[in-house]
Amino acid sequence: MAGSGHGLAMASAAETHPGPMLVITSSSFSAQRLEDEIRFYAPELPLLPFPDWESLPYDLFSPHQDIISQRLETLHRLPELTR
């Protein structure tokens, strides 16, 4: 698909699918782009991004606090999903 075709396809599928959908992307950049496209085509859909840690298991530093907060918020909201 060209352009924002993936976003349109995902938005259409999510609107017709009765339950939650999981979309896995190859990078954080492609995840953000797809999220923006889906929000454009279906602004009423609840999207719960689950960002990458952006660190390796053996790194001496922890992931950024914003990433940890976003992941915890997504995990907290998962049980509330109805579609």
Half-sphere exposure of 9 (CA within 13 A, CB side): 7
Checking if the pLDDT of 23 tops 70, the result is yes
pLDDT on residue 83: 65
Q: Which two tokens stand for residue 23?
A: 């979309």
> Residue 59: how many CB atoms within 10 A of its CB?
10
CA distance 63 to 52: 9
pLDDT digits (tens, 9 = 90+) for 51-82: 988 777 788 888 889 999 999 999 999 998 87
